[in-house]
Structure 1
């Protein structure tokens, strides 16, 4: 058994997103705009006719997933491996505040270099490994032809997609971060999984949302 489509959906905006603070795995809820974003995006994602819904177990992803539950009736399956990168002692800091503590780390992060997020946090490879493990188990546990939605986070979603598709680590930064409540689409095709949509936010840029999938592809 293998799903035919996986939709990776970033959560709506939080107050910490709006103010530029590093969230990591801090349990920050959606702000008012984030709740509106989730409800709007959920109506669009429902047009794909998803058959199952998974989510990181943090508040902002749970609230985002609940918006899809309201319009689809799906049950949320919580998966901690979909959480955002753990930033350890950097949680709650802005980049300016971090620069006062570790200016070199900020320079490396802004240049796209992989940096462990504090001595108690994760690096990119650790995040990618756990997310790919989750993606693999999720897709292989679903019936042929199913359409899976994973409500998760910006950095972990991007790294997970890149690694799941087999991109070399030095090319993971070819994917930009997705906007709040945007989503990516991965389709299973004869030669393997392929990225068929990225950072999607509305019907004008949604590729073929209701077309039937070939369960054998």
Structure 2
């Protein structure tokens, strides 16, 4: 038997479409995002999940509600599953607007000097809140059970490699998750070493075809 964790990125928002940074801003799904959530819901519900956990931000919780309703569950909201805080001056701006309006901060971003950007979370800060949540929910699953966690693209991309124990920096080799794209993690024994039971990456960025 095996356990399965599905990490789903939220559906599209108007700010996604306009390439505006969202961070902790509570931007709701747009019409396309609602359609994406409606389309993915029966696919994930067919996995017979026992729980749906979600970021408390509207774009994630709205997506989670669609999935949970289809699966006959009540979503559990958890602020630890939020996206990166992008910094006060970055929120709502495109990258070009940010460069034009806050050139010093933009230069720090390009240089990777995250500490110089007021309010911006580092990878380590995000993992400090996200990883314990992910681990605790994984531990709740019994053999044969599936849990669905709804969150945000950048947060998922740094959390998955850390959860799997991969070396730092591996997240940079993973593709950007599509809106309502999902990741599948499976806790199972190894093909060649049956005694080696661990969490493994089964799929990255699956989408409804």
Superposition pairs of residues 144-183 of structure 1, within 5 angstroms: 144-183=143-182
Q: Tell me by how many angstroms 1:158 deviates.
A: 0.9
Equivalence for 1:99: 99
In structure 1, list runs of 5 or more residues that go unmatched.
204-217
Task: State whether structure 2 residue 199 is matched by structure 1 residue 193.
Answer: yes
Paired with 1:175 and 1:182, the residues of 2 have a C-alpha distance of: 13
- Shift of the alpha carbon at 1:44? 1.1
Find runs of 4+ consecutive structure 1 residues off by over 6 angstroms: none
The question of whether the paired residues in 2 share the 8 Å contact of 1:87 and 1:117 is answered with no
Q: Distance in 1 between matches of 2:51 and 2:121?
A: 29
Question: Cα 1:143–1:117, aligned 2, differ >3 Å: closer, same or farther?
Answer: farther
Structure 1 equivalent of residue 5 of structure 2: 6
> How many positions carry a matched residue from both structures?
197
Shift of residue 92, structure 1, vs aligned partner = 0.9
SS of structure 1 residue aligned to 2:117: coil
Equivalent pair of 2:108/2:117 in contact (CA under 8 Å): no
What is the deviation of 1:177? 1.6
**TM-score (normalised: structure 2):** 0.88
CA distance in 2, matches of 1:201, 1:117: 36
Alpha-carbon distance in 2 for matches of 1:117, 1:18:
28
CA RMSD of aligned residues (A): 1.7
SS of corresponding position for 1:137: helix
SS at 1:48 equivalent: coil
Alignment of structure 1 residues 3-152 onto 2, 5 Å: 4-89=3-88, 90-100=90-100, 101-102=102-103, 103-108=106-111, 113=112, 115-116=114-115, 118-152=117-151
| Distance in structure 1 (CA, Å) of the matches to 2:13 and 2:113 | 24
Runs (5+) with no aligned partner, structure 2: 190-195
1:179-201, Cα deviation, whole Å (9 max, x unpaired): 00010000002231100011000
Following the alignment from structure 1 to structure 2, what is the Cα–Cα distance between the partners of residues 126 and 48? Answer: 32
Q: TM-score, normalised by structure 1?
A: 0.85
Distance in 1 between the 2:138 and 2:42 partners?
23
Tell me how far 1:94 sits from its aligned partner.
1.0
In 1, Cα distance between equivalents of 2:115 and 2:72: 39
